[in-house]
């Protein structure tokens, strides 16, 4: 499989408040690279978000804007490129919200959600949160809610699912964005 696993963290409930992003590149079913950046949002941080991910306003004071980060990573969000996230609806909304807020063209890609694949392939789990699925598959999740660690876990989940079940059950859950 060839795909990009990604994850956003946000400063608050606004979909355009991305404060960090990570991408994990997978080629021929092997992790071959990654990208991580803090992002300086144009919004205030909410205490609850800080409590979840540990990113504070002072951490992003010198960070690039979303527009600067997007120019570095937009090459990965192309038509026919598979982009994977755990709870993809959230990350896809954040990406769309940031692109819209900053007046950038929409991204079009193939999306796959490892929450959905996990629900289909592991229906007996108590829940399908990233840490639960990671624990079930014995995937190390060092720092949950750190975008890079979450992206790495997401990539590993999909790779394990591919190894165990093949690509056919996964293909059925791909959406066009």
Distance CA 88, CA 157 (A): 14
Residues in the chain: 177
User: Which residue is it, tokens 């979450």?
Assistant: 150
> What is the structure's pLDDT at 78?
87
Domain containing 170 — which CATH number? 3.30.420.10
Domains contained in the chain, number: 1
Assessment of whether the complete model's pTM goes beyond 0.85:
yes
State which H helix or E strand residue 10 sits in.
strand 3-10
Helix axes 88-101, 114-121, angle to 10 degrees: 170
Domain housing 76: 3-176
> In which residue ranges of the chain is pLDDT below 50?
none
Q: What is the DSSP string of 29-94?
A: TEEEEEEEEE---SSPPPHHHHHHH---GGGGTTSPPHHHHHHHHGGGS-TT-EEEETTHHHHHHH
């Amino acid at each position: 499989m060839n795909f990009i696993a990604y994850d956003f963290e946000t400063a608050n409930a606004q979909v355009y408040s991305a404060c960090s992003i990570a991408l994990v590149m997978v080629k021929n079913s092997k992790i071959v690279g990654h990208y991580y950046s803090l992002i300086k949002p144009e919004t205030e941080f909410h205490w609850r978000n800080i409590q979840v991910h540990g990113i504070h306003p002072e951490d992003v004071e010198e960070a690039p804007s979303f527009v600067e980060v997007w120019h570095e990573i937009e090459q990965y969000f192309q038509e026919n490129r598979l982009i994977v996230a755990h709870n993809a609806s959230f990350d896809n909304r954040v990406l769309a919200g940031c692109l819209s807020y900053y007046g950038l063209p929409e991204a079009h890609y193939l999306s796959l959600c490892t929450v959905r694949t996990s629900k289909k392939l592991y229906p007996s789990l108590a829940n399908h949160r990233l840490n639960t699925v990671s624990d079930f598959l014995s995937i190390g999740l060092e720092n949950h809610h750190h975008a890079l660690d979450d992206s790495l876990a997401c990539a590993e989940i999909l790779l394990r699912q591919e190894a165990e079940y093949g690509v056919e059950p996964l293909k059925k859950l791909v959406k066009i964005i």
